């Protein structure tokens, strides 16, 4: 692995030299944009909408017939919903940005646990104003998404959901969150299919387009989404939780830690970047001499998976174990390598400038 990183560093340096940029084929960028929308974005949101709808059904079944079986089914469906979300989480533009839909689906990070306290208050006071998908729309974004649903299904006292009558309000609140998420995810999926919607903004750049003048600018933003995701995972989902050393680790703020899905969600995040790069056929904008880039990106993602596999059984415990933390350090190294493959090498070879990253300075 050190050799591969060294080779990549050399190639990145070569790409930075004058005249290193390769001219992209004339039709490469429009095709990349179209493939990214049809092969990655729309299928991703369609699956999210389907899993959220299934979550709505699973919580309805739980509330109608509380039992260990229906609670287990609801918790299993939550894992599928988290996976679906984690594979489109890198898309921080377009319809998901309207009406704070992104935060409504997943309010994270929840700094100082302000959102968690709102969720706990709703459950402890049995606040009927939070019941119903429409009612939740007018509430704080923190009480209507994955974080709120995770606490309802996995937080303190959640096992009572399996006992008839013991947690009626909590169950109705969980079902309300699931219904709200199904409606929100369905709206996003529908908006991506509109002929005059945000897809047209990406597919038809030009002087009359309020956002993009060229397809190259669109590809530039798609690249930025991929590099931002690698940085988001690295800096916020790992480094901020790992702390300076084992004594400084804070596993309690890890995403989806109550459901035991922290590592699974991170894997899906990282895999989504590779999926977007490959399904969008971004490599088609480069020449044959750069064909190795796909293999390099796959290698880095594979290293992330292999290293995370060493800490997956008990992520919280691994954070406080110096030996296990070495695997997390390897994850950080691979995430950095993958980010540079796309953000520096690919962008350098195509002459695209990713520029400002919204997580810089976070």
Helix, strand, coil percentages, rounded to 5, for the chain: 75, 0, 25
What tokens appear for 139 in the block?
């509430």
Q: For the whole prediction, is pTM greater than 0.85?
A: yes
Give the pLDDT score at 353. 79
> Per-residue pLDDT for 215 more than 60?
yes
**How far is the C-alpha of 202 from the C-alpha of 195, rounded, in Å?**
11
Q: When comparing pLDDT for 2 and 239, which is higher?
A: 239
Give the pLDDT score at 13. 43
What tokens appear for 135 in the block?
């009612």
> Per-residue pLDDT for 1 more than 50?
no
**How far is the C-alpha of 178 from the C-alpha of 146, rounded, in Å?**
9
Average pLDDT of 326-332?
97
Neighbours of 193 (CB within 10 A): 12
The string of pLDDT tens digits covering residues 247-289 is 999 999 999 999 999 999 999 999 999 999 999 999 999 988 9
Give the pLDDT score at 112. 85
> Per-residue pLDDT for 137 more than 90?
yes
Q: Confidence band (pLDDT; 50, 70, 90) for 354? A: confident
Q: Is 241 helix (H, G, I), strand (E, B) or coil?
A: helix
Q: What angle do CA 88, 30, 25 make, to 5 degrees?
A: 120
Average pLDDT of 45-62?
98
Question: Using only C-alpha atoms, what is the Rg of the chain?
Answer: 22
Give the pLDDT score at 70. 98
Q: Is the bond preceding residue 296 a cis peptide, omega within 30 degrees?
A: no
Give the pLDDT score at 2. 42
DSSP 113-165: GHHHHHHHHHHHHT-GGG-SHHHHHTS-GGGSSHHHHHHHHHSTTGGGGGSTT
> Per-residue pLDDT for 24 more than 90?
no
Q: Confidence band (pLDDT; 50, 70, 90) for 25? A: confident
Q: What angle do CA 191, 194, 195 make, to 5 degrees?
A: 155
> Per-residue pLDDT for 173 more than 80?
yes
Q: Confidence band (pLDDT; 50, 70, 90) for 359? A: low
> Per-residue pLDDT for 131 more than 80?
yes
DSSP annotation of 247 reads G
Give the pLDDT score at 18. 39
Q: Is 107 helix (H, G, I), strand (E, B) or coil?
A: coil
Q: Is the bond preceding residue 109 a cis peptide, omega within 30 degrees?
A: yes
């Amino acid at each position: 692995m050190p050799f591969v990183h060294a080779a990549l560093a050399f190639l990145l340096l070569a790409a930075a030299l004058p005249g290193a940029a390769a001219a992209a084929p004339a039709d490469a960028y429009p095709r990349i944009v179209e493939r990214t929308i049809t092969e990655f974005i729309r299928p991703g949101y369609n699956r999210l909408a389907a899993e959220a709808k299934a979550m709505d059904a699973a919580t309805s079944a739980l509330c109608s017939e509380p039992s260990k079986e229906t609670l287990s089914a609801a918790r299993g469906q939550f894992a599928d919903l988290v996976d679906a979300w984690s594979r489109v989480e890198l898309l921080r533009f377009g319809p998901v940005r309207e009406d704070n839909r992104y935060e409504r689906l997943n309010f994270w990070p929840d700094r100082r646990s302000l959102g968690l306290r709102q969720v706990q208050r709703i459950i402890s006071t049995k606040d009927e104003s939070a019941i119903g998908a429409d009612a939740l729309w007018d509430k704080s974004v923190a009480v209507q998404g994955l974080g709120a649903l995770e606490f309802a299904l996995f937080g303190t006292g959640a096992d009572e959901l399996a006992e008839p009558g013991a947690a009626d309000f909590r169950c109705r609140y969980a079902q309300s969150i699931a219904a709200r998420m199904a409606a929100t995810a369905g709206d996003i999926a529908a908006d991506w299919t509109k002929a005059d919607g945000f897809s047209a903004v990406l597919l038809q750049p030009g002087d009359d387009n309020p956002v993009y003048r060229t397809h190259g600018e669109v590809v530039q933003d798609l690249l930025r989404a991929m590099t931002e995701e690698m940085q988001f995972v690295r800096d916020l989902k790992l480094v901020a939780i790992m702390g300076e050393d084992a004594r400084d680790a804070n596993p309690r703020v890890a995403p989806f830690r109550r459901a035991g899905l922290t590592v699974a969600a991170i894997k899906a995040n990282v895999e989504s970047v590779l999926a977007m790069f490959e399904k969008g056929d971004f490599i088609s904008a480069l020449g044959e001499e750069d064909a190795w880039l796909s293999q390099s990106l796959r290698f880095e993602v594979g290293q992330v998976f292999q290293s995370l596999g060493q800490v997956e059984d008990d992520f919280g415990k691994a954070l406080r174990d110096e030996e296990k933390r070495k695997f997390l350090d390897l994850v950080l190294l691979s995430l950095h390598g993958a980010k540079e493959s796309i953000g520096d090498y690919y962008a350098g070879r195509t002459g695209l400038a990713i520029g400002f990253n919204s997580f810089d300075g976070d």
